[in-house]
A = this chain, B = another copy of it.
Amino acid sequence: MKKEFIQDLRAGESVEEIFVLAEKNLAQKRNGEKYLTITLSDRTGRIRGVVWDDVDRIASTTSTGEFVRVNGAVAEYKGALQLVVRDMAVSSPEAVDPADFVPATNRDVDKMFARLVEITSNMVNTHLKRLFELFWADDLFAQAFKTAPAAKKMHHAYLGGLLEHTLSMTVLADRIVPHYSGIDRDILIAGVILHDIGKVREFVYDTKIDYSDEGRLVSHIVIAVQILEEKLRLIEDFPRQQAVLLKHMIISHHGAREFGSPEPPKTIEAVLLHYIDEIDARVNGIRDFMAAEDTNEPWTSYHRLLERHFFRGRSGLPGQG
């Protein structure tokens, strides 16, 4: 268990701790001596480091992407902190808690999961209720579902993010359902819970969040349909039309072909799922973007994907607060 995290390091401290070796470059001084510049990471951030001694041995026994135990001291260089490394050696993955190295939700994962289980146990539609019993009883799936992130970058980009995003959408859906008459509540809730389950295989997240081969080649939308199909196969009398409608909600939830949905939403419930996903992803994503920078600035920097600056407001002005 890690005791020290990168965001808490202070100049002058000694460090004896495990990090992910994110980058490693062998360099050479004018006089021919070699040295190593590295980047270390954990879930709280990144720090650059330098190795002056025993360079050849350390360089040849460590690889980027591995957990390394580092012994060194924190210094300040060009206005930023830097770790002057005395020694660095590979640490076995078993010895570490991945959640220390990849950013994770700060909500209680088990409580969130329990709430989802409760919601599905109260479904009126017995086929759907049975379907989720099968899902929750599948330990491998449940574990992955509780750990996976919801994205690499845009929103809920941390361990547990998939569950957090899914639960938030489920609760939001339940707020919206009674507003319109005639919505099939259970199929909407089922669609919400299933829409992103493909992400349990779309990402790898042992030392950092990245796409898996399957994620890049097949996409979480198509993976999700396969995961669902595996469970449907176990229910003898699952109504064929409902099965197709569930798959439709999964594959259409991006809202349009150009965003990766092979078909656009064609039922009211699929349309609602798409907007609930948009709302939850946007609110979380924009807030994280606003919080990642100096929050005293009234405007964020330019958001490349959404193509705009966001306005935090000017708190000094009348009419704010």
> Taking beta carbons and an 8 Å cutoff, which residues of A are in contact with B?
25-28, 30, 32, 76-79, 127, 168, 171-172, 175-176, 179-180, 213-214, 216-219, 221-222, 225-226, 229, 238-245, 247-248, 251, 257-264, 266-268, 271-272, 275, 278-279, 282-283, 286-287, 298-299, 306-311, 313-314, 317-320
B310 and A266 contact, CB distance less than 8 A: yes
Contact between chains at A239 and B179 (CB < 8 Å): no
A8 to chain B, nearest CB (A): 20
Q: How many copies are assembled?
A: 6
* Given known A239-B319, A279-B275, contact A311–B267 (CB-CB < 8 A): yes
Partner of A286, one of B221, B271, B317, B319: B271
Contacts of A32 in B (CB 8 A): 76
Q: Report B-chain residues with C-beta under 8 Å of the C-beta of A78.
A: 27-28
Query: Would A26 and B79 count as touching, CB distance under 8 A?
Result: yes
By the criterion CB–CB under 8 Å, are B241 and A320 in contact?
Answer: yes
CB-based nearest B residue for A320: B241
Q: Which residues of B contact A258 (CB under 8 A)?
A: 257-258
Pick from B272, B279, B307: contact of A176, CB under 8 Å: B279
Please report the C-alpha to C-alpha distance between residue A279 and residue B259 in the assembled complex, in whole angstroms.
19
Residues of chain B contacted by A77 (CB below 8 angstroms): 28, 30
Expressed in whole angstroms, the minimum distance between the Cβ of A231 and any Cβ of chain B is 13
Q: Across chains A and B, which 3 residue pairs bring their CB atoms closest together, nearest first? A: A239-B319, A217-B248, A241-B319
Q: Give Cα A311 to B308, complex, Å.
A: 32
Q: Is A266 a contact of B317 with CB atoms below 8 Å?
A: no
Residues of B within 8 A of A307 (CB): 264
Question: A263 and B216: CB pair below 8 A?
Answer: yes
15 CB < 8 A contacts A-B? A25-B79, A216-B299, A217-B248, A218-B244, A218-B262, A229-B229, A240-B317, A240-B318, A241-B313, A241-B320, A243-B319, A261-B262, A262-B262, A267-B313, A272-B283
